[in-house]
Structures are given as structure tokens and as C-alpha cells.
Amino acid sequence: MKLPDFKVEQWMNEYENEAVYNLTDTCVSPLTFQQLAAMDESGSFMNIRLDYGTITGDRELKEEILSLYKTGTEANITLMQGCLQANESLIYTLLSPGDNVICYEPGYQQFTSLPESIGANVTVLRLYEENGWQPDLSELEEAMSHDVKMIIINQPSNPTGVFFSDEYLQRMILMARLQGTYILSDEVYRGLNDEPSISDIYERGISTSSLSKIFSLAGLRLGWIKGPEEVIEQINVRRDYSIISTGPLADKLACIALKNKDRILKRSRRIIEADKEIVAQFVKDHPQFHIVMPESGTVGFLGYDSDIDDTMLAQQLLSEEGVFFVPGSCFGTGKHLRIGFTCDPQTMSAGLAKLAAYLEKN
């Protein structure tokens, strides 16, 4: 098995620590351990035994995770060390060489590179900016003319921040149902506005998520899979080779967070909406920029009109102005920058001002 470099993650690893104005982070301004611990008035986490804990995840935590969905029982949930590992576990458990897989671009490279690494046949469908970053239904119908084992989607999307339309999603489900196709939906950006989950509306729908993005707790490395019981059983058998457990400390802290989800999400919405207002005004004031403003999630895809290559632009902005973006080329689409609605408003305003000034003089 050979994997190519993971472009967006390598970019973040190489450049993020140099940022003065980080305008591309996908995680809402992180909570501190002290802030999270203060939400547990009993202080019970201080007495946790640091053994392996419950192997597939603390039962109380599973119940809290289920509160984020409309359907399911504990048997439909298993825990992972982040959403990234959840996706990896599903792809490696359910797919085999020669299986047909459908993914979308611009999108997260994991969804294409991991299936390709095991010999799956991956068809990549485009999202069209002129259509609000929506895909073309006829292209999906053509791709589904062959037996498809899995469709991998990201709702809302990284980097566009857009959900598929209800019509498109329902047609996808109808076609998938006829073939018994799994739909794996990375929903790590979902949850700000009670958006539907694929695991609630399709019997072979599998949702992955974590506490990293809208819950501001990436450092916990706590994620999960929600899906059909038989899929969860397969994952739990395979996990013995890789993860064993997420551990009782992470499980307890995650449970505290989800018991206080309304409080945490209120904070996240406040930060996200403030940043989105700033970006909307910026685009209005600077017509060389454009964006399909997402309704939910923490990211958007900022396009620009200039001859400068987006990778070069991102590198020069960082080295000369301290403004950090991930270039659209990391997602298969040039002349765009991924923008995160996750920093404080002062940072957003100052960073965007430097972006506009840089393009004007170059």
C-alpha cells in the first residue's frame, strides 16, 4: 500500500506555526482544559482510573453522542481517535481492491487517496462553483451505472462549507438503495443548525464526526462512527489491531463537553457568525474576491480574480505578511483559498486587509 503526500495536512504541518493571522483554521478557537473542566461541577474526572476503560467507548458518552442524532442505540456507535481515524477505519474495513467508489472535488484528499491505496476504483465528481458548489445529478447517474460499493461525501464540505441540496441527496439515496451502496458521510462540521445526518435518513448511511471543529476540542482526539449495527460490529473487531480504546480520560472529558453542548455551541456560533459578517463585507468591498457563503460549518472557499497562482499567493502572504491560508490547489481547485470562520474578529479583519493590500500591489 502506497499513499501520496496528504497535501492539506502537509501544508498545515509545514506552515501553520509561522502564522500571525491564521485565517484558515477549521476548528473554532480552542477551549482550554481549565474551561472544560470547570463545566464539571462535581470534579469527578479527577478520580478516573487511567486504565483502558470501556473498549468501544463509555456508555454514558455514547448516549450523549446519540443526542446529536434522531435515531439509533448504543449498538450503532463506536468511538475513534478523531474523525480522520473513523473514516480510515471504515474505508479499510468495508472496501476491497476493485470496488467502485464515488467521491467529490474540491474535497478532502483522504476520501480519494485511501480507497485508491487499496486498489479501489475511484470516480471523482466535480462540485461547480457557478452552481453554488453543487454537483451535477447527471454525472452521479452516469457513475452509478456501474455497481458502486461506497459513496463518500462531506456534509458540510471541506473546503466549500456547502451541503448537497435535498433533491440531490434524496436522489443519491434512491440510487444507493437499489444497489445496496454504503454512503459514508464525514459530518465533522455538522451540528450548528440541527442539519440532517445520513445515518438518520438512509439505512446504509454511515456518519463520522468528532469534537474537533464546532466543539473547539481538537486536542481530545475524540471521534466516533454512527452506522448500521453490523458495520459497527465489523469496526469493533478490527479496532483490536489498531486503537483498542479512546481511554477513560478522553471519554469523560468528551462526556462533560456534550452535556454542555448548548453552551459550547452558543460560543461557536457567536465566533463563526462574527467572522462570516466580516468576510461578507470584505467581499462586498473588494469585487476581485468572491465566495459562496456557507449556511453552516466553519469553512468557506474564497475565490479571487488575479493571475497569481494560489500556492504562490499563500506562501508569499505568509512569509511577507504573516497571513496563513491553505491554497485551493490542496483540494484540487486553483485560484481559491480556504478560509476558516474560527478566529477572533480582530484577527479576521486584520488578515483580510493584508490580503487585499497584497493583491492590489501584485
pLDDT in tens, 28-39: 999 999 999 999
| Residue in the structure block whose three cell numbers are 481559491 | 336
pLDDT for position 46: 80
> What is the rounded average pLDDT for all residues in the chain?
95
Range scoring the smallest mean pLDDT among 45-59, 176-190, 299-313, 318-332: 45-59
Length of the chain: 362
CA of residue 320 relative to chain centroid, distance = 29
pLDDT for position 194: 85
pLDDT for position 202: 98
Determine the number of helices (DSSP H) and then strands (DSSP E) in the chain. 13, 14
φ and ψ at residue 101, rounded to 5 degrees: -130, 140
- Does the pLDDT of residue 13 top 80, yes or no? yes
DSSP H helices, the chain, are: 7-15, 33-37, 59-66, 83-94, 110-117, 137-143, 166-179, 198-201, 229-238, 248-259, 261-285, 310-321, 345-361
pLDDT for position 108: 95
18-27 pLDDT per residue, tens: 889 999 999 9
Assign 296 a pLDDT band (cuts: 50, 70, 90): very high
Give the closest residue to 266 by CA, choosing from 209, 197, 339, 193: 193
Interior/surface letters 258-292, b for 16+ CB within 10 angstroms, e for the rest:
bbebeebbebbeebbeebbebbeebbeebeebebb
Please enumerate in sequence order all residues whose Cβ is within 8 A of that of 66, keeping only pairs 6 or more positions apart, or say none.
Answer: 72, 73, 74, 76, 77, 226
230-254 pLDDT per residue, tens: 999 999 999 889 899 999 999 999 9
- Does the pLDDT of residue 16 top 90, yes or no? no
pLDDT for position 4: 87
- Does the pLDDT of residue 312 top 80, yes or no? yes
- Does the pLDDT of residue 340 top 90, yes or no? yes
Task: Please tell me what DSSP assigns to residue 95.
Answer: -
pLDDT for position 362: 74
Calculate mean pLDDT across residues 305-320.
94
Torsion angle defined by CA atoms of residues 84, 24, 341 and 306, in that order, rounded to the nearest 10 degrees: -130
Q: Are 55 and 244 in contact (CB under 8 A)?
A: yes
Range scoring the smallest mean pLDDT among 45-49, 175-179, 222-226, 259-263: 45-49
